[in-house]
Structure 1
Amino acid sequence: MSADNYPDENDTPHTKSEELVIPLMEERLEIDKQQFVKSQFHVERKTESKQVEINESLISRQAEVKHVPIGKYVDIIPTVRDEAGVKIIPVFEEHIEIVKRIYLKEEIRIESHEVINEFKSEETLKYQTVSHKRISTDK
């Protein structure tokens, strides 16, 4: 080879002109991955109970049924009606006489009353809380 580190044609073993092959350098890159734990978390879930107070008004209805004897003859059959919040249901029967007439035997009266009662109770409700704490592993 010559002083410039290039091969000379005269240095080749064959005297005829051949193609000259020069080896080149090649660089290769290798990549590697590693996992490092930098920090951790501790998570805790707790179930707890607490007492709650309930204050509500409850409405209940009660009905009172009364049988009111009437005992009279009428010309037409009375209809079901409401009088001052009282439902009146006529009950009749037919009597056989020489002439048929309607006899009002009784009325059934249904009165509705509202009663308001205060309701108080204490109940147990469950709920959950979550807390977490960071645990550092940095060196």
Structure 2
Amino acid sequence: MGPQDETLHTDREERVIPVIEEQVHVNKKVVESGKVRISKNVHEDEVLINVPIVHEEVDVQRIPINQYVDQAPPAVRYEGDKMIVTVLREELVLVKRIKVVEELHIINRKIEDHTTQPINLRREEINIERVQNDEPDPR
């Protein structure tokens, strides 16, 4: 720096330049803008349904045998789904013998029937109704 530079510094006047910054402050407020009324209606409808119902029936066939046996009475036996029960009778003779009189052939059958039954089913229906707010909008 020379002598001219010193005079320039002394002749200068100092200025202050303000620096400005903007800031934002946001406030929120909850405002009721309306109301909602909800109602529910329950409707009951009768419907017909087809329901299978199973029951069992027993067929008994009487088969005459009329044979004498010398041993103990035969036990109950099975042939497939058929149960065979021997029916015995003692007869008085000079010699006592066992005679097979008949056999019962029992067949167990399953029978499925369909029947119609009324059943009540419920369903719900929702109704929504908007209710206006009486307060003015603050916006």
Count of equivalent residues: 104
Is 1:46 matched up with 2:44? no
Q: After TM superposition, give the deviation of residue 108 of structure 1 in Å.
A: 1.5
Corresponding position of 1:66: 61
Q: Distance in 2 between matches of 1:128 and 1:135?
A: 22
Question: Partner amino acid for 2:89?
Answer: E
C-alpha RMSD of matched pairs (Å): 2.8
TM-score by length of 1: 0.57
TM-score by length of 2: 0.57
Matches within 5 A, 1:90-105: 90-105=86-101
Sequence identity (%): 23
- Unmatched tracts of structure 2, length 5 or more: 1-31
Is 1:132 matched up with 2:128? yes
Q: Distance in 2 between matches of 1:90 and 1:104?
A: 7
Q: Distance in 1 between matches of 2:121 and 2:65?
A: 58
Is the Cα–Cα contact under 8 Å of residues 51 and 117 in structure 2 kept in the other structure? no
Corresponding position of 1:114: 110
Q: Distance in 1 between matches of 2:54 and 2:132?
A: 60
Matches within 5 A, 1:72-87: 72-74=67-69, 75-87=71-83
